[in-house]
Amino acid sequence: MHKKNYHHGDLKPALIQAGLDILEEEGLEGLSMRAIAARVGVSHTAPKNHFDGLHGLLSAIAAEGFRRHAAEMQKDVEDAPPGRERLDAACVGYIKFAREHGAMFRLMFSPRFNKKAEEEELATAAASSYGVLRGIAEGLNWQRPGPELSPELEAMRTELMLWVFVHGYASLVNEGQMPADPDGKPLFDVLELMPQFDYGN
C-alpha cells in the first residue's frame, strides 16, 4: 500500500494510535514526543510536521479519547431498553471507561487543556461525550422542592447533576479512592447510589 521508505504515509493517525497504546501500557508519564515517535519507528522530530508541539499531540490524543468515551457510552445506552436502564447504562459506561482507561481519563480531564476554547477539535470531542449524558438527562424529570426554573435552566440543572454524580464516582475510582469491583461488581450498585430521578417508560 505504501512504500515503507522515508515517507510514512499515514503518520498523523499512527502517532495518535501510538499515544493510545502508550497510555494503556505505561500511563500518562510515558507520553513524550520521543516515546511516541519511537513507537511508530520514526524520528522524534517528525511529529512536528503534523502537530503543534507536544501539547498539540496530547490534545489530539485526548480528543480521540473523548470520541471513544462517547462512542462506548452511546453503545451501552442503545443496547439497554429505554427508561431507568438507560440511565444506568450511561453511568456504568462512564465509570467503566475511567476504570479501564485510567491514564486516558486523566489526560482527557487534565487541567493542561484549561483554555479549551482554543482547541477546537478537543472541545468538539468533549462536547460529544457530554452530549450522551445530555441525551439521557433529557428523559429525566428531577423532582425537587424549591423555586420553579425555566425549562432551559431546569434541563441544564439536571444534566449537571447527572454529570457531577457520575464524574465523581468515576474520579474516585480512577484515583484509587473507591474500591470498584472488588469481586466483580461495584461495592454499591450505581443504581443504588443514584438520587431519586423520575424516569419515563
Partner DNA sequence: TGTACATCAGTGAACGCGCGTTCACTGATGTAC
Enumerate binding residues for DNA (CB under 7 A): 3, 5-9, 11, 30, 32-35, 37, 42-46, 48-50, 53-55
Q: Which does 59 bind (CB under 5 to 8 A by kind): DNA, a second copy, none?
A: none
**E strand residue ranges, 31-162:** 140-141
- Whichever of 20 and 89 has its CB closer to DNA, that residue is 20
> C-beta of 174: minimal distance to DNA in Å?
23
> C-beta of 118: minimal distance to DNA in Å?
16
- Whichever of 3 and 115 has its CB closer to a second copy, that residue is 115
Q: How far is CA 185 from CA 115, 147, 188, in A?
A: 37, 39, 8
Retrieve residue 151's grid coordinates: 425549562
Q: Which does 168 bind (CB under 5 to 8 A by kind): DNA, a second copy, none?
A: a second copy
Write the DSSP assignment of 174-192 as a string of letters: HTT-S---TTSS-SS-HHH
> C-beta of 39: minimal distance to DNA in Å?
11
Stretch that binds a second copy, among 7-15, 33-41, 57-65, 156-164 (CB under 8 A): 156-164
18 burial type by CB count under 10 A (0-12 exposed, 13-18 middle, 19+ buried)? buried
- CA distance linking residue 156 with residue 162, whole number of Å: 10
Residues 173-192 that bind a second copy (CB under 8 A): 174-178, 187-188, 192
Which position among 1, 3, 4, 114 is part of the footprint of a second copy (CB under 8 A)? 114
- CA distance linking residue 56 with residue 49, whole number of Å: 11
- Whichever of 29 and 183 has its CB closer to DNA, that residue is 29
- Whichever of 7 and 185 has its CB closer to DNA, that residue is 7
Please tell me the total number of residues recorded for the chain in this structure: 201
65 with 110: CB under 8 angstroms?
no
- CA distance linking residue 76 with residue 110, whole number of Å: 25
Binding-site ranges for a second copy (CB under 8 A): 102, 106, 109-111, 113-114, 116, 144-146, 157, 160-161, 163-169, 171-172, 174-178, 187-188, 192-193, 195-196
